[in-house]
Structure 1
């Protein structure tokens, strides 16, 4: 999946009153994380269900893999467009509508009789997820004090990673007994539970979904454009490879038992998501955090093929490191973006979210293309590792230069 220096005020476009310590509003952050949990399950379980879907609909695995591409592309591109149409609505209303659309999309997926209906339903679910995720993150940031904003963002991102580590392996195991359609019905029910929980959220004076024009204009800021580009490349490299993890393990480790790999990657995601918030809040150095995290991803992806070739169990460590670093990078990225756009935090968070999922969609499509051209699945981590290395170089050059020249944010 996946993202504000701790001293920068996340001022809304309507200049809401800043939350004070002890005002009790931070207790609603777990409700927002419940929704991202449902998104995390849905976004990543489909990669594990590819064999079941292709067999049921009598289509190739590469064709079935495009449902992941459609979901992530609509998340990245369709979400901002529809959020613009809801720009004047209260945040609670936008979040509820987004979860409703997301749930309807999953119900249609469970009923899909053909590939085209399947792709359409994944597009609907992706649009709902694309509207919900950035607004939930921005709302969480507005519910707490600046010095605890990293923890709030990490909680929302933790919902995604926990949904991945629990939902993906569980969904794969359940599909063996109730079929992939039964798994989708369970995800639909999960979305309904999240929607019901959202009714407890009070009406908050937070930034509305930013219009699409503002998102595009924000890219004129060189620092913003550089950070977003790094997130885009990270999405292609880290999340895109996940779609074809099963194919990689069959080729590199000679095993078709992939649930343990999903557990390892997802467990790393939980560790990274929950630890990175306090780390960034304490060090107040998001740029350095992104540097270290990207370096860890490069090392993990370049060592993964050799480890898997040696023994299947040897791939656990690079998978955990890759998952932890891949999920952790979004929190310091969000810190940097809100620092670059302190008067429009929702725009900043939305740009980062769109970049990550656009990268995920591109990564899924490119991975299928590379495999279709005859490349070995075991070689995929080398391609994605090279992209992550490029992201690290851009971070150390373009983003660093813009960060150095930018004025210090006002506490």
Structure 2
């Protein structure tokens, strides 16, 4: 259940062929309300419930939201229904990750987090192209009814789970207070910038390929990016567990994102097939970075892992919305879609610089404080 399950933000063109970012801005506003604001508020209302109850309620809300979307008679009702589904996803995702981390030992925490992220990446790589294919045959309402049915199946699975002794979702005040820590705020900001750069660019992947590779066949690119995401999200867990150096892992991953995004325009211009390699690398790195980021946040807030994970999830969701809006704005101002990876790559460089300065300094101060008698 991910903010990127429906990644292609609707866009329109005026008579001169420029993109009008109004719908992207609308998607941004909806995403902020549903994931960043609605999720924490509803999680606060459920703060005294067990993780199993919260997961069940979140799935019910998500499923109802999808059913209402399929029944929506007007655009306004559809947007409200998507917000309802977004609230369910915003509550479910961080609690699921925190639950997975809480059910394992610290030595296997990376694998647990990677399993959750692997499910999200698989849902994206399969869900987006398959959803497009299904919509062409049974319509978008039929596709939403299928998603609703899958939500019911998942809800049945939650009902049959044994009682899970994991901390309930944190109140909103705890989330805000956690940001007072320089280490936490730095890590969350890196996740925010990463979401803007990676998910924001993915929103406009089709437009980029049309401009850079001169092809309207773009589903293969979604498969390539998503396949990389599956590989990265599944492999990063064992790597973090084995090395026990999540900070170094984030450094390497951010460097890989920068390199792949800067190489992507030239590769796509040479031949569409050449773009597969940077797309796979970018997808793998973009999905893999969240596991060591969550690992670092849990280490910074060991007594409140749900707070840490929820902050990271909110940052990624917010980054996705901001990235979509900024991409639409940049294109609306006349920028070439083929140049978008240069903008997002530069933003990832800023995230890398922040990681190597602010986050690194906070980590060192924390280590020194722990070792001081």
Match of 2:90 among 112, 118, 130: 130
Structure 1 residues 232-266: Cα deviation after superposition (integer angstroms, max 9, x where no partner): 00010111111111111111111121110110011
Partner secondary structure for residue 206 of structure 1: coil
Map of 1:148 onto structure 2: 108
Structure 1 residues 15-49: Cα deviation after superposition (integer angstroms, max 9, x where no partner): xxxxxxxxxxxxxxxxxxxxxxxx14xx4342348
Map of 2:28 onto structure 1: 69
Seen in structure 2, the aligned counterparts of structure 1 residues 316 and 68 have a Cα distance that, compared at 3 Å, is: farther
TM, length-normalised to structure 1: 0.85
Which sections of structure 2, spanning at least 5 residues, go unmatched?
14-18
Map of 1:271 onto structure 2: 231
Deviation at 1:144, TM superposition (A): 1.5
Map of 2:169 onto structure 1: 209
1-side partners of 2:115 and 2:337: how far apart?
Answer: 34
Match of 1:200 among 154, 157, 160: 160
Deviation at 1:138, TM superposition (A): 0.7
1-side partners of 2:227 and 2:30: how far apart?
Answer: 23
CA contact (8 A) 2:221 2:276 kept: yes
Residue 46 (1) aligns with residue 6 (2): yes
2-side partners of 1:375 and 1:107: how far apart?
Answer: 38
Map of 2:118 onto structure 1: 158
Residue 383 (1) aligns with residue 366 (2): no
Map of 2:16 onto structure 1: none
Structure 1 residues 340-373: Cα deviation after superposition (integer angstroms, max 9, x where no partner): 1111111111111111111111111111111222
Alignment of 1:183-262 (within 5 A): 183-262=143-222
Which sections of structure 1, spanning at least 5 residues, go unmatched?
1-38, 55-59
Map of 2:59 onto structure 1: 99
Map of 1:320 onto structure 2: 280
Q: CA RMSD in A?
A: 2.0
TM, length-normalised to structure 2: 0.93
Structure 1 residues 157-204: Cα deviation after superposition (integer angstroms, max 9, x where no partner): 111001011111111111221122222221111111111111121222
Deviation at 1:112, TM superposition (A): 2.7
Partner secondary structure for residue 367 of structure 2: coil
2-side partners of 1:130 and 1:102: how far apart?
Answer: 9
Residue 339 (1) aligns with residue 283 (2): no
Deviation at 1:229, TM superposition (A): 0.5
Deviation at 1:113, TM superposition (A): 3.2
Deviation at 1:114, TM superposition (A): 3.1
Deviation at 1:117, TM superposition (A): 2.1
Deviation at 1:407, TM superposition (A): 3.1
Partner secondary structure for residue 407 of structure 1: helix
1-side partners of 2:72 and 2:176: how far apart?
Answer: 35
2-side partners of 1:116 and 1:251: how far apart?
Answer: 32
